[in-house]
Amino acid sequence: MGAGMAKYARDEDFKLNGVRTVKDYDLYCHYVAGLVGEGLTKLITAAKFGSPTLLDRMNLSESMGLFLQKTNIIRDYKEDLDDGRTFWPKEVWGKYAKNLSDFEKPEFIQKGVYCISELVLNALGEAKDSLTYLSLIYDHSTFNFTAIPQVMAIATLAEIFENPLVLKQNVKIRRGTTAKLILESRTYSGVLDIFSHYLRIIHHKCPVADPNYLEISLKCGEIEQYLEELNPDSSHLPKGAKPMQTQSYLDAQKKLETDVPLQKVIEKETSACNAAVTFVGITFVSLLYFAYYFYVQSV
């Protein structure tokens, strides 16, 4: 990782022109985030917190890192541009403008939005591997550690997709959404539901006029189909039919089985929280009522 960063630090062409090709884009993300995933995977497997097969499938950890890094790069367009940095690959943005900074101009806003959609499409290419990786994590704390950034990434992609504000400011998901994602991603089934939810948002937001409309629709459909493969809805299967016994399905089902005890704990926590909120609400309304009553009596 250090050698990779040193390479970019010495690269005058990179300093002046940024990332040129999608291949260079992937390589940069590999050095920045992919290698981090590789190192963490070695620690996770050494501690027996995940499947030892992860060591033979480093492409999964690579995708985990690239999914996060690509999301951050797309989101940070304005911030990076203001600081004199350019990480969007010219191979992509060059289709829509002569200069990367052109997207700040009103007449290039729509082109910039189309460029964002192509970059989001590229990032979504890492989603399936990320979901597979998470199914192979056994330890619950480690699962939380790896799952939370992934659900933040898919939520962020949905937020910045078809969003011209990305070209003017740093766009982030709301804090309330962040808290909700953290709570709902404690189980693998929760992660799958979150991905499904935001994929549908992306698909729904994509206008037919977008030059990437067809590819984005196909990619969203592909990932949705994979989600269905991992955790199939029995109502979608013909009577008497069984899900395809793929390795991905078997790994996901094994992971989902470990969710059952935790799901019961989550349900108890939710019930207790709802009861507490209800009690506080009733108490507050009662206090308001009595305050109003005594005020009227005093008048």
Cα dihedral 103, 108, 109, 112, rounded to 10, equals -60
Mean pLDDT of the chain: 90
State pTM to two decimals.
0.87
| Tens-digit pLDDT profile for residues 173-200 | 999 999 999 999 999 999 999 999 999 9
Contact 63, 133 (CB under 8 A): yes
Confidence of residue 165 (pLDDT cuts 50, 70, 90): very high
The CATH homologous superfamily to which domain 2-260 belongs is: Farnesyl Diphosphate Synthase (1.10.600.10)
| Tens-digit pLDDT profile for residues 124-133 | 999 999 999 9
Active-site amino acid positions: 28, 75, 85, 145
Query: Residue 190 in 3-state DSSP?
Result: helix
Domain spans of the chain, in order of start: 2-260
Closest Cα to residue 252, out of 243, 261, 242, 240?
Answer: 243
Q: What are phi and psi of 5, to 5 degrees?
A: -65, -35
